[in-house]
Chain A
């Protein structure tokens, strides 16, 4: 099968997956016994007459049989109408797309951090196999993943924002994407929606440094989720490669260890790490609900959290579908990249 045919086939699967996801989400939310879907459209305690409720029910077609409602729902989805979110006071798709750049920026930084930390740590662990350093690296990375993310986020805020600040030392911000006053004094025109990139384009140093500082804590917190996996995969893969004959040859030629690792071993050992990093990116693009909430990061994860708190089922369904789409697309890209990176892979 040719490459193009493969991609087309995968895209066709994407349609099927989304249809499946939409059906599951829709019937779960609308079909639950004893649940009136209308309840999700009206803020609790807001006085509204029975007549108005009936009118609203008719307008939303909630008086039709469930399968008919589903057909309406899917037809609207295909037309780009994902419904209107009370929480965001915006159409759902517009709300999600508007917040996506913040999530992507955070996810990319988190993956860069976890790879940047995980690869060297994995190499060190492999080189010092079963020695104290190896054990320490593994314990630290496992500990990182074992802590609940919200707790870790709060602790990092406490140390790097609060305590450092109280001691009069330079500290890191506790929330948001950019300093409030910086944003007021040096407004940034959105081009890509990524503050780090946009500020560089505009040559706006104040926003650039502020954005970078704001990224550090949430990105680091998020990176710890995948750090353990990357360290372990890097370590195993490196050990595997170090056993190969060509490494032995390189050693016997008297090449310095640094050259052997960086030039010869790393390039072969890193492929599985890249796969993990790619998948992680996919997961993180689905919105890091907890980290975005703790750090008030205005991405799709925080929006979803607000939607859940507001019982905004229209938004929550839209978010679920959106995340499913992102996951499928990212997996597709990773699979395609596989063929590009590794010449042995053919479709």
Chain B
């Protein structure tokens, strides 16, 4: 009787469970990928540090030049080739014929012009304006964009007159339906690799214009399809490119994306690229444990597994002791490790400030001996093993082996040596007014949300403190906002960071670390006239061999100043997005390319 009373509940549960049988199973032409942070928007005119965005764009859109297989040198893609004229100030691209956008429109020179003009005119603060190098060494690349883009200056002018001035400058010109010319403000060695990124994506003008409305405000400039200085809300979630995949759905709420194979794909430069996966489902699954469970169960084919959790998937001892990656979960493959485009470093600031902006009285890092001593107090090998689980390799300067111009012969300005550090600090202390009998207090900050920084900060502090040279270092954890403010406003002398590059070309990093206007250098008040001049030279050198030589010279100059401590160049397993990615063994065709953001799906298939 009692059991009978439970019957309805039992039946209901059984029914719900049995409904499982109705759920369709994923077929072998469908790939499911669990990613920690799903795409937020897919308009290539908006810059992003979220690689899921870029991953969608690199499968849906195509560029004039791109990468073939694992190569990191751009090759002709939508273009059949190019000519460089006027010492690198003019690039003329010939386009392939017969390529169609997903909306059926033809790819032509007008579409290329539209795409670049659109990027400049929308002028997103993180867009092409700020991505193409800025600063005194390189005031804009596309002719007239510097004058138009207000990413570079205060005061905005989005009037029709401003738009017309940009157009008249002739940055991008249609020569004939299949020939397009780019006019640059100055020669730029990294131009091709820059337009090979998602920022160089070619969009369908017909598609964009169809969904666009003319601005109601008469004071606002525009070209058909683009309103100056205004984000295109629709194109954040819709796309029409020429790529091997079509953006089928983009669910804003779930941040899930479905891509469908483009049935009329032109086949790429070799004509052989044919997407075999008919459907790709990218699901935002924030929780690491859920992603791992889904991967193990076979519900997903690829999952984003953070480096911290990698030993749930591979044998820890074999990796740390023998350097071998051996999966411990049946049915899972973990390709790698491979060089990537992320670097971990510490920076020293030679102009520490008070919160009111005035200069702090004690400036230890102005003395090169103090900088060298701090750098020599960091056991980078220990950090690479214990903090990054061995997924970082030694680097003698701020590039990774995946980048153009990486030169292992460049020497670091320091080596881990506590005795040397002690000697340097005792000497410097005499001039700076500290010593074992005259101790000075110092604080090293780190981002409380990044435990890896805490390890490094503690190591530096404890190593320097035990030298007993009169520097008493305290370690302070700051909230993320305080941490950013602290080094951005130069309140701190020593801070720990990581940075990521979207391209295999080192130019953005050379600018950031080596020039006084560069992002990291500026917040350290680093200024070396020789480095600035070398930077400009490499920037304008078109011959790769010559350019690589200048780059080596530049980084040696910067290294000798010991402003930066290169802790390690991240290596990756799988194809990394924010986290590396682990695959089921049924996924075939994978190859690694550090310039890819996530996977290039036409390369993959399932067995």
Cβ–Cβ contact B485 & A162, under 8 A = no
Residue A69 CB within 8 A of the other chain: no
Is residue A90 within 8 Å, beta carbon to beta carbon, of the partner chain?
yes
Q: State in angstroms the CA–CA spacing of A212 and B15 once bound together.
A: 11
| Pair B293/A157 contact, Cβ less than 8 Å | yes
DSSP majority for the A interface? helix
Pairwise interchain contact B283-A181, C-beta atoms closer than 8 A? no
* Residues A144-193 near B (CB distance < 8 A): 154, 157-158, 161-162, 165-166, 169-172, 174-177, 179-182, 184-185
When the two chains form the complex, which single residue of B41, B134, B287 contacts A49, counting CB atoms closer than 8 Å?
Answer: B134
The answer on a CB contact under 8 Å between B484 and A44 is yes
Hey, which chain A residues are within 8 Å of B19, CB to CB?
170, 209-210, 212-213
- In the complex, are the beta carbons of A161 and B297 less than 8 A apart? yes
Bitwise, B11-55 to A at CB < 8 A (1) or not (0) is: 000001111111111100010100001001100000111000000
> Quick check: B16 and A175 within 8 Å, CB to CB?
no
Q: Tell me the bound Cα distance from A184 to B485 in angstroms.
A: 45
Tell me which of A71-79, A129-137, A263-271, A288-296 binds B: A288-296
Contact present for A49 and B293 (CB under 8 Å):
no
- Closest-by-CB residue of A relative to B355 is A34
A311 at the interface (CB under 8 A from B): yes
Closest to A185 in B: B24
Q: How many residues on A have C-beta within 8 angstroms of the other chain's C-beta atoms?
A: 69
Known: A89-B236, A161-B293. A48 touches B279 (CB 8 A): no
Is there contact, CB below 8 Å, between B154 and A48?
Answer: no
Q: Are B130 and A52 in contact (CB under 8 A)?
A: yes
CA distance A282 to B21 in the complex (A): 35
Q: Which residues does chain A contribute within 8 Å of B511, judged by CB atoms?
A: 47
In the complex the two chains form, is A166's CB within 8 Å of B297's CB?
yes
Contacts of B296 in A (CB 8 A): 162
Q: CB distance B152 to A49 under 8 Å?
A: yes
Question: Is residue B241 contacting chain A, with contact meaning CB distance below 8 A?
Answer: no
Residues in A neighbouring B48, C-beta threshold 8 A: 43
When chains A and B are docked, how far (Å) is the Cα of A36 from the Cα of B47?
A: 22
Interface digits, A199-218 against B, CB 8 Å rule (1 contact, 0 not)? 00000001001101100100
* Pair B290/A157 contact, Cβ less than 8 Å: yes
Please determine whether B287 and A180 come into contact, CB atoms closer than 8 angstroms.
no
- Tell whether B486 is near chain A: CB-to-CB under 8 Å: yes
Tell me the smallest distance from the CB of B151 to a CB of chain A, in Å. 5
A residues in contact with B251, CB < 8 Å: 298
Tell whether A89 pairs with B24 under 8 Å between CB atoms, given A46-B49, A212-B16.
no
Q: Is A45 within 8 A of B500, CB to CB?
A: yes
Q: Is B308 an interface residue (CB 8 A)?
A: no
CA distance A49 to B286 in the complex (A): 32
Q: Could you name 22 residue pairs across A and B whose Cβ atoms are closer than 8 Å?
A: A44-B49, A45-B499, A47-B519, A49-B151, A56-B125, A58-B154, A87-B40, A89-B252, A98-B253, A161-B293, A166-B297, A170-B17, A170-B19, A174-B294, A181-B24, A184-B249, A210-B22, A296-B285, A296-B286, A298-B255, A302-B286, A306-B286
Which are the 7 A-B pairs with shortest beta-carbon distances? A170-B20, A47-B519, A298-B254, A36-B485, A39-B484, A209-B19, A89-B41
